[in-house]
Every structure is written in structure tokens, then in C-alpha cells.
């Protein structure tokens, strides 16, 4: 049997490494959001970014997603520019603001991602994700009828439905209540971990960064530079109650200290 070329292509991007080479971004108004950044984010791992507001976290994610063009330097995802991964429908991003289309139902919004990525509409997958993010029964609701936190969860479901090989989460739980946030932090990684998805997460919660990631990067104030690079070696999947363990608390302290130092530097 001849190998399916598409399968080969999919395999080549299953857990792509991300390489940033001298990545720079200045906006037209002269704002420099990103100082030259050299970094490698390992394929199949989750990397969290924390840093002060306005330091350039969203900009970094958008550059990696191929939504902004770098002023200098380049992003390579699995050796290719972001655009080629985009074309395969292999990137997904949960934006800082949920950006649901107001005229589509929640289910329609999630299914739209499948259409845009060129996948068949899979109603079971869509409904399964709606249940998973705790929105069961709201599939036919319009975004305007949902609360801010519910919309954000819908946006997460939309990002996950295409089973991307690169998942970008920009403060995905910002408007979600503490209890649901913990639940999501426990449930969602179960979806991407077994698939070996490369995940980048921006968050303002140090606990969340440590809980979800394999590595936390602390960014300095604008223009963003890496102020600290902290490996998180906690067991996967995270056991229940790990937040209370000594290791976890130590890591949280370490990241918090780095954040405080970075803000002064």
C-alpha cells in the first residue's frame, strides 16, 4: 500500500518545535513590543508565558500564529513558516477576547473552525467539547446570551475542536470563575497531552502557569525579553491536590520572584 502523502505531511507537523530567531516586532506607531528574541519551544510540550500587562505576550503569540509579520527575524514551526501550518489548518488560537460571531449559535461558532480548517463537520466532536467546557445545554444559544466566562470557554472549545498540532492560548481563563478555572485546568490538558500538541499559554496566574506547563518563561516589561526560564518537572498528568505540594509551591515562589525581579530590571 502506497503511503498516504497527506498522512506523512500531518505526521511531520504532529508535535512541531517552534524556533524564534532574532524575532522583533515594532508597530507602525513606533511601539517596540518585542526585543530580539531567540528561543526554542519544544514540540509536544506546554510553555507558559507570564509577564506584566502590555509587555508583548499577545504580540509574541500572534507572531508565532502568523497573524503579525515580524519586523526582523523569523518564526519556524517544525522547520516551516507559520503560513504553511496555517494552510494545513493545524494552528488554533483562543484569543484574549473570545471573538465569537454574534450571528452564529455556540455550536455554529465551534463548527465554523472545522469548516475553516477544511475538516468535515463533526457534530459529535462539537457537542462533546461543549460538554467538556461545561456548556452542555447551551449549544443553540447565541453568544449574546452567554456570560463573559461562558464565551471564553466556547472560544477554548473552538480552538480545540480542530485537534491542532500547535495550540495557542492567550489568557484563556481570564474571565472564568475560580472553581471552573480549576476544573478546566484539570480537564483540558487531557485533550492535548495524549496528542502531543505543542501548546503555548499566556496567563496572569502564576499557579495556572505552573499547573499547566512544562516550562514557564517570565517576560520583562516592554519590549519583552526573557527574564527567567523555569523548568517545571512535576508529574504528568498532575495528581489531584498537587497545588498543595511543596514542589509546586516552591515553583510558584520561584516564578513570582522572577516576575517581581523582571519588573524592576
Ligand X SMILES: Nc1ncnc2c1ncn2[C@@H]1O[C@H](COP(=O)(O)OP(=O)(O)OP(=O)(O)O)[C@@H](O)[C@H]1O
Of all residues in the shown chain, the one whose CB is closest to ligand X is: 58
Sole binder of ligand X in the list 47, 96, 152, 205 (CB under 6 A): 96
Closer by beta carbon to ligand X, 57 or else 181: 57
Please, are residues 154 and 146 in contact by the beta-carbon 8 Å criterion? yes
Q: Which of 12, 31, 147, 247 binds ligand X (CB under 6 A)?
A: 31
Mask for 204-243, x = binds ligand X (CB under 6 A): ------------------x---------------------
Cβ-based nearer residue to Mg ion, 96 or 225: 96
Among 47, 58, 152, 197, binds Mg ion (CB under 5 A): 58
Given the complex with Mg ion, which of 96 and 109 has the nearer CB atom?
A: 96
**99 near other proteins, judged by CB under 8 A:** yes
For position 103 contacting ligand X by CB under 6 A, the verdict is no
Convert residues 62-91 into a mask of x (bound to Mg ion by CB under 5 A) and - (unbound). ------------------------------
d(CA 11, CA 118) in angstroms, rounded, equals: 17
Cα 185 to chain center, whole Å?
A: 12
Query: Does 87 interact with other proteins (rule: CB under 8 A)?
Result: yes
| Helix intervals (H) in 92-136 | 106-116, 123-132
By CB under 8 A, residue 249 contacts other proteins: no
**CA–CA dist 233, 170 (Å, integer):** 23
Give the span between the Cα atoms of 261 and 162, in whole angstroms.
Answer: 39
Residue of 59, 105, 162, 205 that binds other proteins (CB under 8 A): 162
Sign of CA dihedral 55, 202, 157, 135: negative
Nearest alpha carbon to residue 232 among 246, 205, 203, 211: 211
CB of 93: closest distance to other proteins in angstroms? 5
Whole-Å CA distances, 250 to 44, 49, 156, 229:
25, 18, 29, 15
Quick one: CA dihedral 212, 130, 59, 171, positive or negative?
negative
Binding footprint of Mg ion on the chain (CB under 5 A): 58, 96
Binding footprint of ligand X on the chain (CB under 6 A): 27, 29, 31, 33, 53-59, 96, 222
Amino acid at each position: 500500500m502506497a503511503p498516504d502523502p497527506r498522512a506523512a505531511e500531518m505526521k511531520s507537523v504532529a508535535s512541531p518545535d517552534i524556533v524564534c530567531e532574532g524575532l522583533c516586532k515594532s508597530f507602525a506607531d513606533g511601539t517596540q513590543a518585542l526585543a530580539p528574541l531567540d528561543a526554542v519551544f519544544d514540540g509536544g510540550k506546554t510553555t507558559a508565558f507570564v509577564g506584566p500587562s502590555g509587555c508583548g505576550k499577545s504580540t509574541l503569540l500572534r507572531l508565532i500564529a502568523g497573524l503579525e509579520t515580524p519586523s526582523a527575524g523569523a518564526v519556524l514551526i517544525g522547520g516551516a513558516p507559520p503560513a504553511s501550518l496555517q494552510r494545513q489548518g493545524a494552528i488554533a488560537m483562543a484569543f484574549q477576547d473570545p471573538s465569537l460571531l454574534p450571528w452564529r449559535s455556540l455550536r455554529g461558532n465551534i463548527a465554523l473552525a472545522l469548516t475553516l480548517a477544511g475538516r468535515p463537520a463533526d457534530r459529535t466532536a462539537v457537542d462533546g467539547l461543549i460538554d467538556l467546557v461545561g456548556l452542555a445545554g447551551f449549544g443553540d444559544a447565541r453568544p449574546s446570551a452567554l456570560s463573559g466566562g461562558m464565551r471564553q470557554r466556547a472560544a477554548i472549545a473552538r480552538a480545540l475542536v480542530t485537534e491542532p498540532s500547535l495550540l495557542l492560548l492567550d489568557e484563556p481563563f481570564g474571565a472564568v470563575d475560580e472553581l471552573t478555572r480549576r476544573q478546566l485546568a484539570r480537564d483540558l490538558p487531557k485533550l492535548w497531552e495524549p496528542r502531543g500538541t505543542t501548546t503555548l499559554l499566556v496567563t496572569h496566574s502564576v499557579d495556572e502557569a505552573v499547573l499547566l506547563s512544562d516550562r514557564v518563561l517570565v517576560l520583562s516589561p516592554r519590549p519583552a525579553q526573557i527574564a527567567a526560564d523555569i523548568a517545571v518537572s512535576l508529574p504528568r498528568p498532575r495528581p489531584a491536590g498537587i497545588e498543595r505540594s511543596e514542589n509546586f509551591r516552591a515553583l510558584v515562589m520561584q516564578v513570582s520572584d522572577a516576575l517581581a525581579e523582571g519588573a524592576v530590571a
